[in-house]
Amino acid sequence: MTTSAAPEPAPPTSPVPLAALLARRDLGLRLLAGPGDVPLHWVHASEMADPYPYLLGGELLLTAGVQLADPARFVERVVEAGAAALGFGVTPVYDTVPAALVGACERLGLPLIEVPPETPFTAVARALWRLMAEARLHELRRVSEAQQSLATAAARPAPVPAVLGALASRLGGRAVLYGADGTESAAAGRAIPPEAARALADLAGVVGPRPGGPASASGDGGGLRLAAYALGGGDGMALGIATEGRAPGDHTIAGVAVVLLSLLTAPHRAADISVRDGALARLLLGAPVAEAAAALSPGPWTVVHARGGDSTPFAAAELAAALGTDLVDPGAGAGAGAGGGTGAGAGPAVVRLLLPPEAAASVTARPGWTLGVSAPAEPAALAAADTQAARALRRAEATRAPLVRHRANGLAGLVDPAEAATHARVLLAPLTEPQTETLRTWLSLHGSWDRTAVAMDIHRNTVRQRIARIATLLDRDLDDPDVRMELWFALGSARAA
């Protein structure tokens, strides 16, 4: 068995097999050397004699050979950089792909495709990005459906076997729950060879039990791809998964199962915890927050919306532990869940957490996360608190603040005081102090000339003249109620500043 301490890092985009790009007849691409099933993670065009410093690995490198002095050395550098494939455009420099380039690619196993003269590199790049977008959408849908399936299983009378069964079905393999002593506690899915079973048990023994041990590990055994994940709670339990292959989204799906199984197997479970887990399951299924409120203690509870981490449920679980709660909707990166996630392709999902009173009082900014925190609320008011947290998160992201709390100060509380003061200074800059005071008094008295004149001890015609002058200086229609409201808030912000 071969193992690694952590799963292979996922690329920022869903990979696309080179064969899918070659299948696009409109591009007219032709494979001249190497395998046609390599994954492509992105595309890059370069005419540098040595492209090595400009490659990240996994690219389809496109070139017309403008500085191709030594084809063999060029291919060596491309391979050293980790590029997935090389695309060579014929004309205007070469009429055909150089034989030396084809030979070097064959020798080093680098896929080489011929790009015909009528196909610009931008067309190849656009086609690859479209294929990646389609693959990403498929992955998001798959993860979303799996999350719903796992959450449904978690709400069943025998939740642990149900979650394992749903996980094994979604990944097309076997899922095993190991106890702290390394023995199988429960399992589901297709049978695997004894060699793979032993390798999976060994891999599960690597994660979690010792201090500082890895949270996950992956490897191969018995002709299968293996992965193991430590469950939360520090009791040494682990989840093992054996599959024939590894598809995009598998790691995220497994992460959702880890979060649920950690909740379902926690050693401190009691009757009230089980009820709260039922509320969590309903939240994961997309139920409104208010529907889960009846299963929660009186509170008050605080809702937190968070975005960040590495967009995996493992990071969500770590955030929940840091904030002192086990009620977390990990989002799964697909936007599924109870209103907290983003739509498909819209970016990292929003993690939602419910914090009990003892945890809510000590919420602080967390490295790598952006947090929006609601005001404390009773269970019946959690729907409003959920909206407050979402709004606070949007404000935090807009202002690049690590944490923003809901401010219950009416409409004025929705605006950052510093930003409001800056806007007020710019808006009221043309006015002198007497004009500003006249405007404030006139607005406070609902635009009454006579009452303003009495309050300021000036003639009513003077009030009219000043207001007319103010309207000219500000270039605003002071008969417009929206304008009056904006000016009133601006005057208040200026005075507060």
- Check which CATH number belongs to the domain holding 248 and give it: 3.30.450.30
Residue 135 lies in a domain: no
Residue 484 lies in a domain: yes
How many domains are contained in the chain? 4
In this structure, the answer to whether residues 296 and 403 fall within a common structural domain is: yes
In this structure, the answer to whether residues 302 and 216 fall within a common structural domain is: no
Residue 147 lies in a domain: no
How many angstroms separate the most distant Cα atoms in the chain? Answer: 100
- Check which CATH number belongs to the domain holding 73 and give it: 3.40.1390.20
In this structure, the answer to whether residues 107 and 167 fall within a common structural domain is: no
In this structure, the answer to whether residues 184 and 311 fall within a common structural domain is: no
In this structure, the answer to whether residues 399 and 291 fall within a common structural domain is: yes
Helix 159-171 vs helix 121-154: crossing angle, to nearest 10? 160
pTM above 0.85, yes or no: no
Tell me, what's the pLDDT at 39?
93
Residue 59 lies in a domain: yes
In this structure, the answer to whether residues 381 and 355 fall within a common structural domain is: yes
Q: Which domain holds residue 289?
A: 271-408
Residue 5 lies in a domain: no
In this structure, the answer to whether residues 99 and 27 fall within a common structural domain is: yes
pLDDT along the chain (497 residues), means of 10: 43 79 95 94 93 92 95 96 96 92 96 96 94 88 87 82 92 92 89 92 79 78 91 79 88 87 67 46 48 61 85 71 73 38 50 81 86 86 85 86 80 68 88 91 91 89 91 90 89 80
Collect all residues with Cβ–Cβ distance below 8 Å to 162 and sequence separation of at least 6: 153, 154, 156
Q: Provide DSSP, 411-467.
A: GGGGS-HHHHHHHHHHHHTT--HHHHHHHHHHHHTTT-HHHHHHHHTS-HHHHHHHH
